[in-house]
Amino acid sequence: MTSSRRILPGFGPSLGFTLFYLTLLVLVPLGALFVKTSQLTWERFRETVTDPVVVSSYRLSFQASIAAAAINGVFGLVVAWVLVRYPFPGRRLLDAVVDFPFALPTAVAGLTFGSLYMRVPWIDAVRIGTWITRGINAVLSRTGVGTVSAEALSGLDEFRVIVMLVFVGLPFVVRTVQPVLQDFDPEVEQAAHSLGAGRWTVFRRLVFPHIFPAWVSGVALAFARAVGEYGSVIFVAGNIPGKSQIAPLQIITKLDDYRYAEATAIGVVLLSVSLAILLVINGLEWWARRHERA
């Protein structure tokens, strides 16, 4: 123990209160979840969590979350890079804007995204769906696959859920990568440049390995948030059972039918996924710290 323990008072009471609060609010409730599930027989549990309707909801939740986390992985990195490296007018404002999805209540986010797929009264032409479709079509027309229409695309529940989840997970990648990128010594890059390395080589061989652990944990955080997201997604998805329901909505549906045990089983599956992701993130941080020391 360091000397500060002996000098500074209040360790006992503050830690005691923290543990008491956490036990009461986190450990007991989450423990209750597992105890309640253990009251189910194994067959019943398996039946519940592998019910086709439930499985299709996992599929939508996980696929959309992976896609959204991947999109955020790419664009979040670009945003972080631009915010750290390229000073331009309005950068401070944009930097503050990044946190907006974190501060905006999910129901409001769902509401505004849900309405952006319909006609917007103030400017008819502004429809996010149309813009994104134009971008996709620009790519598709080069590959010769053909084009998609805005109506068909925004009619896809997956597409709408993915767009919603990109918004929800946006701050995570930017905010985990940004500080690490800031710490990266530009002199190392300059040295590499003077030795004849190209820009892309420097990024790939020097910068990216340095920010990789932070980037992965940012993507994982965005994914974890997306899997559990409820408030915003129900505003944009069709919520048709077996087709466009997300996993958290399954819990609500079961609860509304007073099928508590089944709701709990699905809850345990979701919780286990979040805990696993949390473990991965912590492992990554530990690994990164060890590498730093080595």
Partner 1 sequence: MVHRLPRVLLTLVAVAFLVLFVVAPAVNVFAQALSKGARAYVSTFYAPRVQGQEKLPLKERRALSKEQAQAEKTRAAIRMTLGVAAVVVPLNVVFGVAAAWAIAKFRFRGRSLLVSLIDLPFSVSPVVAGLVFVLLMGRQGFFGRWATQFQWPDLASIYWKGFAESAWPVGAANWHSGVIFTPLAAVLASVFVTFPFVARSLIPLMESQGTDAEEAAITLGAGGLRTFWKVSLPNVKWGLLYGVVLCAARTMGEFGAVSVVSGHLDSNDTMPLRVEKLWNEYNTQAAFAVASLLALLAVVTLVLKTLAEWKTRAADE
Footprint of partner 1 on 51-110 (CB under 8 A): 75, 78-79, 81-83, 86, 88, 92, 94, 96-101, 103-109
Among residues 183, 190, 282, 287, which is the contact residue for partner 1, using CB under 8 A? Answer: 282
Question: What burial letters (b/e) apply to 181-192, b meaning 16+ CB within 10 Å?
Answer: beeeeeeebeeb
Gap between the Cα atoms of 203 and 115, Å rounded: 40
Does residue 213 belong to the site contacting partner 1 (CB under 8 A)? no
Question: Does the footprint of partner 1 cover residue 134 (CB under 8 A)?
Answer: no
* Listed ranges 30-38, 138-146, 148-156, 210-218: which one lies at the site for partner 1 (CB under 8 A): 30-38
Site residues for partner 1, window 193-212 (CB under 8 A)? Answer: 199
Q: Which of 70, 228, 239, 288 binds partner 1 (CB under 8 A)?
A: 228
Among 63, 145, 182, 260, indicate the residue that binds partner 1 (CB under 8 A): 260
Question: In this structure, what is the dihedral angle of CA atoms 141, 146, 151, 157, given to the nearest 10 degrees?
Answer: -100
Closest approach, Cβ 39 to partner 1, in A, equals 11
CB 110 within 8 A of CB 164: yes
The answer to whether the CB of 247 falls within 8 A of the CB of 61 is yes
Quick one: 193 or 291, whose CB is closer to partner 1?
A: 193
Q: How far is the CB of 224 from partner 1 (least distance, A)?
A: 4
Among 66, 70, 111, 140, the residue binding partner 1 under the rule CB under 8 A is 111
State the first-to-last Cα distance of the chain, in angstroms, to the nearest integer.
25
Binding of partner 1 by 35 (CB under 8 A):
yes
Q: Is 166 in the site for partner 1 (CB under 8 A)?
A: yes
Q: Please tell me whether residue 160 binds partner 1 under the rule CB under 8 A.
A: no
Q: Which is nearer to partner 1, 66 or 252 (CB)?
A: 252
Nearer to partner 1, 146 or 163 (CB): 163
Q: Which one of 121, 146, 186, 196 is in contact with partner 1 (CB under 8 A)?
A: 121
Q: Is 26 in the site for partner 1 (CB under 8 A)?
A: yes
* Residue 241 interacts with partner 1 (CB under 8 A): yes or no: no
Q: Which of 44, 47, 70, 128 binds partner 1 (CB under 8 A)?
A: 128
Nearer to partner 1, 146 or 258 (CB): 258
- Polymer length in residues for the chain: 294
Applying CB under 8 A, what is the total number of residues that bind partner 1? 93
Using rule CB under 8 A, residue 183 touches partner 1: no
